[in-house]
Structure formats: structure tokens, C-alpha cells
Amino acid sequence: MTDVSPLYGLRLRTPRLELRLGSREELVELARLAERGVHPPEEMPFAIAWTDRVGEPEFVDEFVAWHEGHLESWSPERWTLNLLVWVGGELAGTQGLLAEQFAERQVVSTGSWLGLEHQGRGIGTEMRAAVVELAFRGLGARRAESSWLDGNEASRRVSEKLGYVGLATRTQSPRGEPVADHVVAIERRDWRSPVAVEIAGVEPCLPLFDGRASLQA
């Protein structure tokens, strides 16, 4: 199993937020946040309807295992970094950054969620900006991709505010019915972060992401 301990020293900071990996206790806290609500029950903003399992007896254990499993299976060829997001010391959600064959493709994707009590304050824009800045300035990516399902206006607005452009439309069926999934992307040359992002602890992590990256000026 790959030694991922350097990732626990990685910190992203913006004017309001801190993003980092969480301990098992913090992952349990994150699961409890999800249990308090991520979206209205009649909506499903995710391609995989994981929030439909909220309230089941195994939910918290499975949630924690999912996060820990990504670290246990980590390799430079395929990795998923799920950073927890704190606002003023309060856990608010999670922001993911993932890639396959990053050394060759230099393309990353993102995914995220916030607890209901933290939505509508611009936090989603700020936390995605943080990981895109990590991807471009810290890891040397050339493109960042994301996607939003029809009806997920919050995700659409974040992509729009950050300058993403449309790439393609595909179909997802999180609850059995087909829903349009809009793939969007931004190139490194077009990226301008709307917030200052401090990146700390990335150098020891670089071999874990592609085995050869160096911090970009």
C-alpha cells in the first residue's frame, strides 16, 4: 500500500477556509453533517445518489470507509484527494480533486458538497478555487474539469463564476431516471483565481500525484 502520510501535511487556505485531510473522528463528524442535510429530499444533485442512504444504520461506517478507501488504494496512476473544508474552524463540507494517468494527461476533475447550513454564502466557489489553484500552480495541471446535473444550479453557478466552458453533455441516472450531466472545463492559461490561495506542504506530496511534478512558479 502506498505511503500517503505526506498528504496529511497538505494545507490549502483562502481568506475564509482551510482545506485538509481529516482524521477518522473528523470523517465521522463529516458524516453527521451529511445526515443533517445536503440538499432537499426531492432533489438529487449527484450522479451517485449516496445521500439517499442517510439515516440507514450502516451509513456512517460506510461513509468513513469510502473516504479511507480512496487513500488505501492511492497510486500516482489513479488518485482521489477528498479534502475536508473548515469555515472559521467549523466543518462545512468536502472538496475532492481526482485524476487518472495524471503524469501523461495533466487533467484533474473536482467534486464537492456542503452541508445545508453552509450553502448560499459563496463557500462552494472559494473551496473549488482552492483545489483548482492546487492543481494548476501546485501540480502543473493543464486542465480542470467538473460537471453539473440538470437542476443543480449551485454547481452550475460556481462553474460559471470561475470561467469554465462547456465540453460535452452525457446522461446520468442517479435515481433511475435519465438526467443531463453537463461536463465543463477550464484551461490553465485561462485560470484566474478569485481568491488568494495559500498552498502549504505540497512538495513532499508531489511523487504521490505523478511521480515527477515540481511546484510551479
How do residues 67-87 score in pLDDT, each as one tens digit?
A: 999 999 999 999 999 999 999
Give the domains, in start order, of the chain with CATH numbers: 5-209 (3.40.630.30)
Compute the mean pLDDT over every residue in the chain, rounded to the nearest whole number.
95
Q: What is the pTM of this model?
A: 0.94
Residue ranges of the chain with per-residue pLDDT less than 50? 213-217
> At CB < 8 A and 24+ separation, what contacts does 70-74 make?
71/4, 71/7, 71/21, 72/1, 74/2, 74/4, 74/208
Please give the pLDDT value at position 1: 82
